Amino acid sequence: MADIGWGPLLAESEGYGRLGDKTDDYKPLTSDDIEKLAEAGFKPHQHASHGMIFFRKQNKLWDIYEQKGFAMMQMRFDGTLGFPGGLMDEGETPLQCLNRELREEIGFDPTKHAFSDNEHIASYLHEGKNLVLHFYVKEVSAEEYFALETNTLHAHEYGIETLGIIRVPLFTMGDGLRGFPAFLTNNFAGNARSQLITGLVAAKLFTQEDMTKAIEAYKGFMKNSH
Ligand SMILES: O=c1[nH]cnc2c1ncn2[C@H]1C[C@H](O)[C@@H](COP(=O)(O)OP(=O)(O)O)O1
C-alpha cells in the first residue's frame, strides 16, 4: 500500500480530534501569544491549520428561505465534519501548512488563490493535547467556489482523508431548526463547530443576533433528544 504520509504521525497524534472533544477546552490565543509562538519556531506545540472557503450570495431558496451563500466543509476519514486543512510539518508556518494541506485535500491551487495572513481569524490552544489550531476564512467568487468544488474530486487525498466536500446550509427553515441549526447537531472534529460559528460571524454572513438564535435552536434540539 502506498505511504500516504501520516502513518508515523499517528502514534504521536493519538487522542487528537476524537469524538467527544470538548470545544471549551480550546482556549483562544491573543496576537501576542501567536507572535511568541512564531518567535519560538512554533515549538513545543503541535499545530494544525484549517480554512473556511465561502462565497456570499443573498437569494431565496425555493423562493422561501433567505440563503446567505455557501461555505465549504468536508466529511473526514474519521466520520466527523471539519474544514480542509491538517497538521503542520516541521519547518512550516501555519499559513504554509494551510496552503499545502488545501492542495493535498481539495486540489486548491495556491498559485491562483492562496490564503494569506490577513485571512487569519483565530488560533486556539488545547493544553491537554499540546495542540494549537489555527483558523482562516477566505471569500471567493461564485465561479471560483464552483471550480474548487469540481477540483476536489481530483485531489490527492480525495477518498483517503477527505470523503467529500459539502456545502453548509446557510439558511433556516420555518420550524427554526432545519437548515443551519440542524447542521450544527452533527459531529465535528476538534473545535470545528465553534470555528464555523466564529467564521460565519466574522465573514458577516450571520449577524450576532441570527447566530445566537441558531445556536439556541441547536442546543434546544440536543437537550430534547437526550
Ligand atoms: O476543521 C477542523 N477544525 C478544527 N480542528 C480540526 C478540524 N479538522 C481536524 N481538526 C483537528 C483534529 C486533530 O486534532 C487536528 C489535525 O487533524 P487533521 O486535519 O486530521 O490532520 P491531518 O490531515 O491528519 O494532518 O485538528
Q: How far apart are CA 44 and CA 21, in angstroms?
A: 22
Q: How far apart are CA 195 and CA 72, in angstroms?
A: 12
Report in angstroms the alpha-carbon separations of 125 from 33, 39, 129.
Answer: 10, 17, 9
The answer to whether 80 and 17 have CB atoms below 8 angstroms apart is yes
Domain parsing of the chain, residue ranges:
21-168
pLDDT at 132 (0 to 100):
97
**Mean per-residue pLDDT, 196-207:** 95
Number of helical (H) and strand (E) elements in the chain, helices listed first: 8, 8
Of residues 192, 181, 68, 188, the one with CA closest to residue 137: 192
H-run or E-run covering 193: helix 192-202
**Contacts with 31 (C-beta within 8 Å, 6 or more apart), sequence order:** none
Backbone angles phi, psi at 176, to 5 degrees: 75, 0
**Mean per-residue pLDDT, 198-215:** 94
pLDDT in tens, 120-150: 999 999 999 999 999 999 999 999 999 999 9
Q: How far apart are CA 179 and CA 161, in angstroms?
A: 26
Backbone angles phi, psi at 57, to 5 degrees: -160, 115
Strand partners, 169: 70
Testing ligand 1's pocket by substitution, the residue of 10, 87, 103, 134 carrying the most ligand atoms inside 8 A of its CB is: 87
Ligand 1 proximal residues by C-beta, below 6 Å: 6, 16-17, 48, 50, 82-83, 85-87, 131, 133, 161, 189-192, 195
**Mean per-residue pLDDT, 203-210:** 94
pLDDT at 52 (0 to 100):
98
pLDDT confidence band for 224 (50 / 70 / 90): confident
Provide, rounded to the nearest whole percent, the portion of the chain with pLDDT above 70: 89
Backbone angles phi, psi at 186, to 5 degrees: -70, 170
pLDDT at 10 (0 to 100):
45
pLDDT in tens, 63-94: 888 899 999 999 999 999 999 999 999 999 99
What would the CATH number be for the domain defined by 21-168? 3.90.79.10
Say which amino acid occupies 213.
K
Find the 188 Cα to ligand 1 centroid distance in Å.
10
Q: How far apart are CA 151 and CA 146, in angstroms?
A: 9
Find the 175 Cα to ligand 1 centroid distance in Å.
33
pTM listed for this prediction? 0.89
Q: Strand (E) positions, 119-200?
A: 120-126, 131-139, 162-169
pLDDT at 21 (0 to 100):
67
